[in-house]
Amino acid sequence: MDFRAIFLVLTAVVLTCQADVYEVTAQRMSLETMPLVSSQKGQSSFTYNYNPSYLPRYENGQLLDGLLIRSQNSNGQPYGVGPSVISYTEASNQGKVFDVNHVEATNISDDNVVFSSEGEAESYGVEDPRVAYRDLNETYYMFYSAVQQYPDKVVSRLAMATTQTPLDKSSWVRHGAVFPEEKWSKSGALLLRDDIPGSPHYLYWGDSDITVAAASEDLTSFHNLHTFISVRENHFDSSLVESGPPPLRLSDGNYLFIYNSARPHPSAKPGYAKQYNPGWVIIDGTDPTKILQRAEIPLMSPVENWETGKSPELDLTPNVVFIEAAKALGDDTFLVFYGAADSVVGVAKITVTKSAEESWIF
């Protein structure tokens, strides 16, 4: 037997394998009119308005694109603030046909506050809402930071509240801390899977690493499964990672999950030296505890003056782009509303494309 000939034949056999590769890009919208919400433009009676969550609202059969937004006043000291509340603004072009290129927002005042502190557990405010709407029972599930003031520290606990009428402040039902055993918790993004019979729901939460938790069918309890996204050395997400808006369904059945992250960066703010940049992962549509692909570069970074906090723009926290709100536009495109410099709100369009990448196996 000629083993050399067999070896040559075997080495000539080449197999090819195709894998899906995703590209996710962001385009800032209407820069000539941005930021979308800013007290400097007379749009809010609160000094700082940022980190909104998307709130789809239906009125007489019409979809209205609402935002629940974190609002906060300055206490008169440099970088000093009072407790946060959650206000409502509408981004549906004020009754006109929705145009992603010319998004407007209604003004915010005390009359637009729909959720504010109750009890000791929220003595320092309520922050950073993330909302999921469940068609099955026409209920809004809001995950937010319940922030408590102690004599020597401030502590955040991820909490949940529900309602069917989100603009009625008295209608919200508080369900308390999601993970009462945790000393610190925040940033919860809920993935509802009612469209896939028998599929569990999941919660992605955390602001150092992101953990995935399985939800009970009635969404009253959550069981941690494993760390889902960790920081990476020498990357844009080397200091921390934190949940963004609820995962977004793609046309191929997988999900886009936008997360927020930080890396070291010089800052004029005392005791703070970070830059916040959102990233993304593609979640497996058949098993949402698995990641198919992760971004190697940030989706966005602070570049506009109202994102970097360059004077005369507001700069509660310089160099921040932070996404918690997303609206599906179709064809794997999404409109996101993001906090900038912990002071104002911007708008960007996210586009997801997929291609097959061929690899060679010898």
Per residue in 4-49, pLDDT (tens digit) is 554 444 444 455 556 789 999 999 997 777 899 999 999 999 999 9
Q: Which residue has the tokens 């003004």?
A: 107
> How many Å apart are CA 171 and CA 194, to the nearest integer?
24
Q: Which residue has the tokens 């886009």?
A: 256
R_g of the chain, CA atoms, integer Å: 22
**Parts of the chain with a pLDDT under 50:** 6-13, 362
> How many Å apart are CA 141 and CA 131, to the nearest integer?
6
Counting beta carbons within 10 angstroms of the beta carbon of residue 355, is it exposed (0 to 12), middle (13 to 18) or buried (19 or more)?
A: exposed
CB atoms within 10 A of CB 318: 25
pLDDT at 342: 98
pLDDT at 358: 63
SS (H, E, C) the chain: CCHHHHHHHHHHCCEEEEEEEEEEEEEECCHHHCCCECHHHCCECCCEEEEEEEEEEEECCEEEEEEEEEEECECCCCCCECCEEEEEEECCHHHCCCCCCCCCCCCECHHHEEECCCCHHHCCEEEEEEEEEECCCCEEEEEEEEEEECCCCEEEEEEEEEECCCCCHHHCEEEEECCCCCCCCCCEEEECCCCCCCCCEEEEECCCCEEEEEECCCCCCEEEEEEEECCCCCCCCCCEEEECCCCEECCCCCEEEEEEEEEECCCCCCCCCEEEEEEEEEECCCCCCCEEEECCCCCCCCCCHHHHCCCCCCCCCCCEEEEEEEEEEECCEEEEEEEECCCEEEEEEEEEEEEEEEEEEC
Query: Under a CB-based contact definition with an 8 Å cutoff, are residues 247 and 255 in contact?
Result: yes
Per residue in 162-184, pLDDT (tens digit) is 999 999 999 999 999 999 999 99
The pTM assigned to this predicted structure is 0.92
